[in-house]
Amino acid sequence: QAQLVESGGGTVQAGDSLTLSCGVSRYTYIGRSMGWFRQAPGKKREAVACFYTDGGPTYYADSVKGRFTISLDNANNTLLLQMNSLKPEDSAMYYCAVSGTIDRWVGPRGDVYDYWGQGTQVTVSS
């Protein structure tokens, strides 16, 4: 079972930026889909941004397009989520995930990602 460890969450004001990080073993993500998901209290989990590590499509939720950027730091085996122009509605627990047993692009379907981190809280005040 792979271990994913998120960090970088916190409490910020609207308009601020944050960068979330997710450390993951290199063998875990080669040729896999990776993504960031979030869940706010009382709401369903939603995909924020996902991509395939061998190239190809990148998915962004409409609500974050133009503000968030997902990327992979190969040198440090770290998945990143740069979040700019944060809004109160971005407040949620953020999770990174890898499609560990599926070696292809799986898109934003959270139910097919089988490796998950413990989450990092992001709170944006107005």
Tens of pLDDT along 12-66? 999 999 999 999 987 788 889 999 999 999 999 999 999 999 888 899 999 999 9
* 42 CB-near residues (< 8 Å, 6+ apart): none
Residue 82, pLDDT score: 98
Which residue reads 């139910």 in tokens?
111
